[in-house]
Amino acid sequence: MKYFKRMVFSGVAVAFGVWWGAAAPPEEIKVGDPEIFKSVPAAIVSVTSPNDYIANSSQMVAKSLPPYDEVILNKEETIAYVPAKDGRIWRVDLTLNTAKPFVDVPLMAAGARLAPDNSRIIYFCASYLYGAKYPATERVGLYQLDIETKAVKPLVLDVPLSPQSGGKPKVYTGKDAPKLKNVDASRDNSRPLKFCNDLDVSSDGKRIYFTEPFSYGKPQMGGGGTYREAVSLGRNGRVWLYDVDQGETRLVAQNFTFPDGILVEGAGENREDSILVTETVKFRIIRMFVSGPKAGKYDAVWENLPGMPDGMDRDNNGRIWIGILKQRSSTINWIHKNPWLKPFFLRLPSGMMPVSRKTSILALSADASRALFYSEHDGSVLSDISVVVPGRSKLYLAAFGPKSSGFYHMPFPKKLAPRQAAPE
């Protein structure tokens, strides 16, 4: 019997060793020091809706629409262009409340913006979606769509080589940043863009900022790679800038943790001094100074958010609306506090990690200094709010959850209803 028990124990030990080696994460995944996530800031708690505002106020139309990641409104707010998880951009008629496929784009379109200087152009990111299959010829990239002709044009498919990720977070100034013009790209000085997640455009339409949460392996929206970044809090993310006139891509920042949503600050004739970026899996929003006297520096604007901040957008009064994809759980707080556990969790399938169904929205002042409104949703109506897009009188919600369907909108909370322009 003792011999039998030893044999069983040895077999289990060997099997465990084989699994431990085979399931090891990529070498780019580094487990760092403990991270202590504290309670949600009192400033957010104080503006939290007492009720589930999303469940009580949202409406769903165009039920045939698949889950989607973004909403682009035309100037009249009669049409919305919606990048959906089926790999197509859909056209939603906001008068008839109907949705139809508009154009099939490479891979899956994610973050998108209407060009501020040309209302017929939409800029969008395209990346792999976990579990989906695509033609081998389709590539990750930053693209533009001409609404009138439906023509899709790649703007950035390759980025300049840059220092290896994982070191100290760094924001570059224009002088010291790796940069590359599209016409000069080669195997020696560039690499394929691996993950284009979200973007924003300067007010003059000349510069497009976009995020690359990580760039090793074959990144996908959702799935194992994203899960491992969330567990390890790896510093593998980069932010890029595409100069439209020059056809040049430049590195803005690197060694940040899953940079996702992005919002350019500043408008008018002066070049923007800063950008806001969500470090989604680190539950915080940071400000990167890209020009001006503080160029090359960054500050944490909000930390210990109640969930994973995703996309950001502004309403007509300049206030910032943020989709909170998933809520922060006590389990993930515990794991980050005890990093010695992470090598085990990094080897588990992503589906084994308990994930909250709750999702939420957050509104901040125009300078991001004050919380104005927060509401948590239990996931009964829609799931995984990736962005909140303000219109003239409504908030449009991007529902990214796998079981979501239809197009969602709701009125502004009364205290944040947009101010109407004075009659001329």
Which tokens belong to 145? 């769509």
Q: Residue 25 — very low, low, confident or very high, per pLDDT cuts 50/70/90?
A: confident
Report CA torsion sign: 128, 129, 130, 134: negative
pLDDT at 10 over 80: no
Residue scoring higher pLDDT (3 or 247):
247
Region 347-369: mean pLDDT is 89
Calculate what percentage of the chain has a pLDDT beyond 90: 76
Predicted local confidence at residue 421, as pLDDT: 45
Region 193-202: mean pLDDT is 97
**Which tens digits make up the pLDDT trace of 177-194?**
999 999 888 989 999 999
Q: What whole-number distance in Å separates Cα of residue 123 and Cα of residue 112?
A: 5
Question: In this structure, are residues 263 and 312 in contact, taking their beta carbons and an 8 Å threshold?
Answer: yes
HSE-CB of 73 using CA atoms within 13 angstroms: 22
Region 199-214: mean pLDDT is 96
Q: What whole-number distance in Å separates Cα of residue 182 and Cα of residue 162?
A: 16
Predicted local confidence at residue 269, as pLDDT: 60
Residue scoring higher pLDDT (191 or 31):
191
Q: Residue 306 — very low, low, confident or very high, per pLDDT cuts 50/70/90?
A: very high
Q: What whole-number distance in Å separates Cα of residue 27 and Cα of residue 190?
A: 21
**3-class secondary-structure state, position 281:** helix
Q: Which residue pairs from 389-394 have beta carbons closer than 8 angstroms and sit at least 24 positions apart in sequence?
A: 389/70, 389/71, 389/72, 389/73, 389/313, 389/321, 390/313, 390/314, 390/315, 390/316, 390/319, 390/321, 390/418, 391/73, 391/77, 392/77, 392/316, 392/418, 393/417, 393/418
pLDDT at 365 over 90: yes
Question: In this structure, are residues 247 and 183 in contact, taking their beta carbons and an 8 Å threshold?
Answer: yes
Predicted local confidence at residue 268, as pLDDT: 59
342, with CB counted inside 10 A (0-12, 13-18, 19+), is buried
pLDDT at 170 over 90: yes
Q: Residue 1 — very low, low, confident or very high, per pLDDT cuts 50/70/90?
A: low
Q: Closest Cα to residue 232, out of 390, 341, 313?
A: 341
Predicted local confidence at residue 211, as pLDDT: 98
**Which tens digits make up the pLDDT trace of 41-75?**
999 999 999 999 999 999 999 999 999 999 999 99
Q: Residue 3 — very low, low, confident or very high, per pLDDT cuts 50/70/90?
A: low
Mean pLDDT across the chain: 92
**Which tens digits make up the pLDDT trace of 239-298?**
999 999 999 999 999 999 999 999 999 865 667 999 999 999 999 999 999 998 999 999
Predicted local confidence at residue 423, as pLDDT: 40
Residue scoring higher pLDDT (347 or 248):
248
Q: Closest Cα to residue 290, out of 191, 387, 208, 194?
A: 208
Q: Which domains does the chain have, with CATH numbers?
A: 32-413 (2.120.10.30)
Q: Which residues contact 301 (CB under 8 A, 6 or more apart)?
A: 276, 284, 285, 286, 287, 368, 369
**Which tens digits make up the pLDDT trace of 389-422?**
999 999 999 999 888 889 999 999 998 988 754 4
Predicted local confidence at residue 270, as pLDDT: 65
Residues in the chain: 424
60 - beta bridge partners? 408
Predicted local confidence at residue 11, as pLDDT: 67
DSSP state string for 1-34: -HHHHHHHHHHHHHHHHHHHHHTPPPTT----S-
Least confident of 15-29, 134-148, 343-357, 367-381: 15-29
Residue scoring higher pLDDT (157 or 217):
157
Question: In this structure, are residues 340 and 34 in contact, taking their beta carbons and an 8 Å threshold?
Answer: no
Predicted local confidence at residue 353, as pLDDT: 75
Radius of gyration, alpha carbons of the chain: 22
Q: How many helices (H) and strands (E) does the chain have?
A: 6, 28
Q: What whole-number distance in Å separates Cα of residue 419 and Cα of residue 417?
A: 6
| First-to-final CA distance of the chain | 94
Q: What pTM was computed for the model?
A: 0.94
Q: Closest Cα to residue 240, out of 312, 138, 128, 160?
A: 160
